[in-house]
Structure 1
Amino acid sequence: MRLTPDSVAAERDRLRERAPVVVPLCNDTRAALGDQFDTEVASVTDEQYRREVDRVFADGDRAVNVAALAGLLRDLDVAGDYPGFVVDELLGRRLAATIAGGQPLALLAEATFHFADTRTHGGPDDAAGADDLDAALAAGFQTRLPGWSWREGGSPFAVEPTERGEVDPE
């Protein structure tokens, strides 16, 4: 694999084109998690997904990592499949976390990846990592996109700076 600015841009375009597959998986995952946690979660549109793909790829440091992980998953195939189970799960988790951003979203995306992965299955001619790629995209983007009520507004655990404008170290 060779990554260049052009190959990263091409990966962005490929991921944008996955909207017809990824967005329904995002929404299926959100609906199932919403049921599980007794909350309503807004659906994701194709346009929101594509716009967020553009945002992820606008950050060059993140873009090169997303492009590399997506490319590895797209091409990953292991004879007998099961021996590759661990590596495609590892790559999928990392891709979901990288898309989602910093903590705690990265951890949530990793956990959601496993949930989304149970909801998608590649075809017999697909590489072993292909369905993990879709699950990672769905997990990462559904985590970073708005729609979860707990993400709206500030955290009740935020601590105000001290009078000097610094956070008290104690």
Structure 2
Amino acid sequence: MRLTPARVREERNWVAARAETIVPLVNEVRDDLGERFDTDVDAVTEAQYRREVDAVFADGDLAVNVAAMVAILRDLDVDGDYPGFVVDELLGRELAATIAGTQPLRTLGEATFHYVDVNHHGGESENAGVDDCEAALAAGFQERLPGWDWVERDSPFAVE
């Protein structure tokens, strides 16, 4: 695979165009996790998602890595799917973590990827890696987007 600025732009456009799939996934996982952890988590909109896609792809070093993983996952298909389980999980987890950012959001993105992936399945006509890509996008972007109260407050553990 060869990545050029044009290819990164193409992958960015694909990621942005998936808003109709990714945003409902983000909101489902936020509802589920909010219920499990007894907290309210704000839903996100397609406009918020697209703005955050723009932010990720505006950082060239981040963009090229995200674009590469998205491109690989979009193209990944293994006969019978199951033998490819490890590679699409590995790439999906890393994509979610890369999008989510620094710790602790990075680890939360990885964990959330597995949560989303178990509950999200792609269409029969899509390559096996596409649903993992979508799960990774939902997990990574949901960590970046506002709505989690604990992220939007000063930490009680900060030392002055």
Scaled by the length of structure 2, the TM-score of the pair is: 0.98
The count of residues paired between Structure 1 and Structure 2 equals: 160
Cα distance, 1:153 vs. partner? 1.9
Cα distance, 1:159 vs. partner? 1.6
Whose Rg is larger? 1
Q: Which 5+ residue runs of structure 2 have no aligned equivalent?
A: none
Look up the match of 2:138.
138
Cα distance, 1:156 vs. partner? 1.2
Q: Distance in 1 between matches of 2:80 and 2:119?
A: 21
Q: Distance in 2 between matches of 1:41 and 1:8?
A: 32
Give the root-mean-square deviation of aligned CA atoms: 0.7
Look up the match of 1:46.
46
Matched letter for residue 154 of structure 1:
D
More helix by percentage: 2
Cα distance, 1:157 vs. partner? 1.1
Q: Indicate the percent of aligned positions where both proteins have the same amino acid.
A: 67
Matched letter for residue 159 of structure 2:
V
Cα distance, 1:10 vs. partner? 1.2
Superposed CA deviations along residues 43-84 of structure 1, whole A, max 9, x for unmatched, are: 010000000000001111110000000001001001121110
After TM superposition, where is structure 1 displaced by more than 6 Å over at least 4 residues in a row? Answer: none
Q: Which 5+ residue runs of structure 1 have no aligned equivalent?
A: 161-170
Scaled by the length of structure 1, the TM-score of the pair is: 0.92
